[in-house]
Structure 1
């Protein structure tokens, strides 16, 4: 389907006033330069939802939702991007450009074509399910109805090597089919075949309900039981969650999200009334997953089988959660009896019993952390108690929530028979919660540093901060020497920085960060940019222009230096594979320079 031109979207955003748009849906009160209200996307008693007329940006400090006027209407009304643009354009007397047949038009975009390929494949898989008594019988045996199968768009991939050739006339030659993960080219023969064969198909959707990937489950026996799309320009399993688009409304209503391990669990729970469940996509729950869930709900419950595999999965989820949780949010860990998974438990005991189990999820994050670590040591000995603190330190150091960090240290203190302040000293306190501050306190006692210990900050953190600063103040991109940024890096965050810099330089006037986010909505970097804009507003939103500019210049200097050092290290590693007799004189001189011997 053709799409709306980027320049039209930018013109529309320039004509809209986000304050006027948001006030059509909820009352706003003036608060300094901004406007405030109770957030419409989560339950709260004190207003934490802000609208900035200067940045044309809304942000909730409670649940983390943020975006432009377009994003607000999409989120509030549950509309797609195209429908939202048409609605807002009509409100300011603009007409969406039309192509042949009256469809909105847009410059060709690579990702759009990949979305279309997935949509066509899904249509085929859904028809194949209707035509396969064996696949239908399997779903019936699992207790699923036709209604829930239709709601989640389930399909079936036939049991032969290249059924998708019926859909795509250029099956053998179209490189995009491989790029989107629908087919595989054999390494030796080069012959092409379908990735998914004889499997129930679960389409994976993004927030706009585009099909970005697939999961396939074997019908009877087979290995692997679940097969997922590979990483593609559309699909990043560390960022997406299965079932989230379908669960979003129930999550907001309930104030809780349940994270389970299997796609079938999500579908079965939804059929029996538990509609706020999601699943990770063949990977452990990542920090990005946790941040996304905490923006949607005040409570996240990880539900795992009670066996060793379930405990390991729960521990990985905890490791990726400790640095993301904030005070006022709750993370819990629910372990089912070993003989059950969520699907079998709810069918054996009923939805009411399962809901009661979830509501009384046994272990909070602090209790689970200390229980698991304590089980690995001998608390009766001094050495065992010292080992407990040693094991806990790298996790406790990550906790950014002041109250939670204090309570975890207090629990540890009770176990190791020390005072809480001694445990705090031995395990290290969160730098954000209690570390040294530069720039004073701002915004109700919140403390942060615009320039924390530059000499020890890793390159990954520098790239993250630079991206945040770019989204808060895009004009900073004009200070970047473009030749200094590598355009061939495989690092997603560095790719995003390069894309933002290129985009800003192409504009006559540097755009607002939120406008840039809308312009790059269909790019593979949109998730990273959206997160950077949210965190940038939280970290730097109240900082002065001079503070932001200084943080940018310092960070950019260190970041470019780190790239230079990485390039030198890679070259040195390459030279070290050669014997001295194999090196030219120039290579010997370069080797001595890189090793600091000359």
Structure 2
């Protein structure tokens, strides 16, 4: 069976090398790498190393090295297709069905990458031109300097209805390709497809290999229907599976940077500029399970940094609920809530790195966030209300799938309940009941 590069890349993105190797080799953290005893030679001093950033392992005692596919083939004695099958099962990914249609789609994706690269270059050239003066002014007001604009490949979509369409057409791109890439607005009620992004600052979104797969556009006019507009779902782009700044952040996390999750493109750029290069953001949606798994491959406890308002607090609680069933030993989240009325961009511009570090250091564990939502500020003076809180806490604990983590959460929350309902507790009145 032939597997597309896209499918193999997806498997490597979902499974870290240390995760695959760790099933057979006892690994210990060694700086930016992992080390262990060779599975191919008998040895007393570890000479086997795993580098998740490079997506590779190295065995200096035997001279062997390779990817997760090579490791499974060598340690389990299977050929490449079976190694892929076993790793797909480990990742919970269905094997692709090879048909003429799937081969056509793979070739189609390759051509769409070229289309998106052309579009990104066009937008970047626009930003640097006379037409991009207003967009450059907006970026300067947000303290995004020219060097940063180049680093993030920022651009500008002019206000003309067919500018990008005509540019791509001159480069031989068919209109159906432009539509499939999500660059044109089209449909039964649109006689002539036109540019989807107009008069917007453009933020290219890339995959883990650095290829442009989508765009986010920030409107310059105030009275538009959507301040931010993202690319639609395409063969290249599924917004719930990607993170903004994912590839650079993954490398920065490997180099020891704290993984921070914020809500928007400008927030990411502000924190990266302030010295936090492992910062990412979801793409116009609440955090998804797929994005959460990406984060846990970069760090054991990513820090979610939300705006200091009611909406930011709600987003934090949604993320806590999302993560709870998927917690595993050592894998959790921390939550950094900003001062009221501030977002990460405001904080970084006003106070720089030190202000951000202060907020990050004060990040609260997931268990604290759950307890705060359920108990802090509540009135529990009656047995019925205390019983309702206990029932809710038990419900949250029971939602954790991992048995070990569930046990410890149940104990932690039970201890909090006991302390809160003790005669000297802050809820008022005594409580002599037990918790199971």
Contact in 2 for aligned 1:255/1:299 (Cα 8 Å)? no
Counterpart CA distance in 1 for 2:52 and 2:390 is 32
Instruction: From the superposition, tell whether residues 43 and 312 of structure 1 become closer, same or farther in structure 2 (CA, over 3 Å).
Output: farther
Is residue 2:137 matched to residue 1:137? Answer: yes
Aligned-pair distance for 1:70? 6.1
Q: Normalising to structure 2: TM-score of the pair?
A: 0.72
Is residue 2:149 matched to residue 1:160? Answer: no
Q: Normalising to structure 1: TM-score of the pair?
A: 0.54
2:118 match: 120
From 358, 376, 381, the equivalent of 2:360 is: 358
1:341 match: 343
2:92 match: none
1:373 match: 374
Is residue 2:113 matched to residue 1:110? Answer: no
Instruction: From the superposition, tell whether residues 396 and 37 of structure 1 become closer, same or farther in structure 2 (CA, over 3 Å).
Output: closer
State the Cα deviation string for residues 38-84 of structure 1 (Å, max 9, x = none): 4678566x85x99799xxxx998x989978976579xxxxxxxxxxx
Aligned-pair distance for 1:388? 2.2
Counterpart CA distance in 2 for 1:141 and 1:156 is 16
Counterpart CA distance in 2 for 1:185 and 1:50 is 57
Instruction: From the superposition, tell whether residues 298 and 34 of structure 1 become closer, same or farther in structure 2 (CA, over 3 Å).
Output: closer
For residues 169-568 of structure 1, the aligned pairs below 5 Å read 169=169, 174-221=175-222, 222-254=224-256, 256-361=258-363, 363-375=364-376, 378-402=379-403, 404-413=405-414, 414-415=416-417, 417=421, 423-424=435-436
Instruction: From the superposition, tell whether residues 388 and 349 of structure 1 become closer, same or farther in structure 2 (CA, over 3 Å).
Output: same
Contact in 2 for aligned 1:185/1:193 (Cα 8 Å)? yes
State the Cα deviation string for residues 91-122 of structure 1 (Å, max 9, x = none): xxxxxxxxxxxxxxx99711101111111111
Instruction: From the superposition, tell whether residues 65 and 376 of structure 1 become closer, same or farther in structure 2 (CA, over 3 Å).
Output: farther
1:146 match: 146
Aligned-pair distance for 1:292? 1.2
Counterpart CA distance in 2 for 1:172 and 1:72 is 37
Counterpart CA distance in 2 for 1:309 and 1:320 is 16
1:511 match: none
Instruction: From the superposition, tell whether residues 251 and 7 of structure 1 become closer, same or farther in structure 2 (CA, over 3 Å).
Output: closer
Contact in 2 for aligned 1:258/1:300 (Cα 8 Å)? yes
Counterpart CA distance in 2 for 1:150 and 1:163 is 22
Counterpart CA distance in 1 for 2:67 and 2:29 is 14
State the Cα deviation string for residues 466-508 of structure 1 (Å, max 9, x = none): xxxxxxxxxxxxxxxxxxxxxxxxxxxxxxxxxxxxxxxxxxx
Counterpart CA distance in 1 for 2:208 and 2:266 is 20
Instruction: From the superposition, tell whether residues 391 and 229 of structure 1 become closer, same or farther in structure 2 (CA, over 3 Å).
Output: farther
**SS of aligned partner of 1:285:** coil
**SS of aligned partner of 1:193:** strand
State the Cα deviation string for residues 177-222 of structure 1 (Å, max 9, x = none): 2222111115424221111111111111111111111111112423
Contact in 1 for aligned 2:155/2:203 (Cα 8 Å)? yes
Counterpart CA distance in 2 for 1:7 and 1:253 is 31
Q: What are structure 1's unaligned runs of at least 5 residues?
A: 1-5, 10-21, 74-105, 425-598
Instruction: From the superposition, tell whether residues 230 and 359 of structure 1 become closer, same or farther in structure 2 (CA, over 3 Å).
Output: same
For residues 41-60 of structure 1, the aligned pairs below 5 Å read 42=32, 47=36
Aligned-pair distance for 1:290? 1.2
Aligned residues: CA RMSD: 3.9
Instruction: From the superposition, tell whether residues 326 and 174 of structure 1 become closer, same or farther in structure 2 (CA, over 3 Å).
Output: same
Instruction: From the superposition, tell whether residues 412 and 283 of structure 1 become closer, same or farther in structure 2 (CA, over 3 Å).
Output: same
Instruction: From the superposition, tell whether residues 52 and 169 of structure 1 become closer, same or farther in structure 2 (CA, over 3 Å).
Output: farther
Counterpart CA distance in 2 for 1:335 and 1:286 is 20
Contact in 2 for aligned 1:255/1:298 (Cα 8 Å)? no
Instruction: From the superposition, tell whether residues 332 and 173 of structure 1 become closer, same or farther in structure 2 (CA, over 3 Å).
Output: same
Contact in 2 for aligned 1:238/1:286 (Cα 8 Å)? yes
Greater C-alpha radius of gyration: 1
Q: What are structure 2's unaligned runs of at least 5 residues?
A: 6-16, 42-47, 58-64, 70-102, 423-430
Contact in 2 for aligned 1:212/1:235 (Cα 8 Å)? yes
Aligned-pair distance for 1:412? 3.0
Q: Single out whichever of 141-150 and 319-328 deviates more from structure 2.
A: 319-328
Contact in 2 for aligned 1:199/1:217 (Cα 8 Å)? yes
Instruction: From the superposition, tell whether residues 164 and 229 of structure 1 become closer, same or farther in structure 2 (CA, over 3 Å).
Output: same
Counterpart CA distance in 1 for 2:317 and 2:219 is 27
Instruction: From the superposition, tell whether residues 130 and 324 of structure 1 become closer, same or farther in structure 2 (CA, over 3 Å).
Output: same
Counterpart CA distance in 1 for 2:154 and 2:117 is 13
Instruction: From the superposition, tell whether residues 411 and 126 of structure 1 become closer, same or farther in structure 2 (CA, over 3 Å).
Output: same
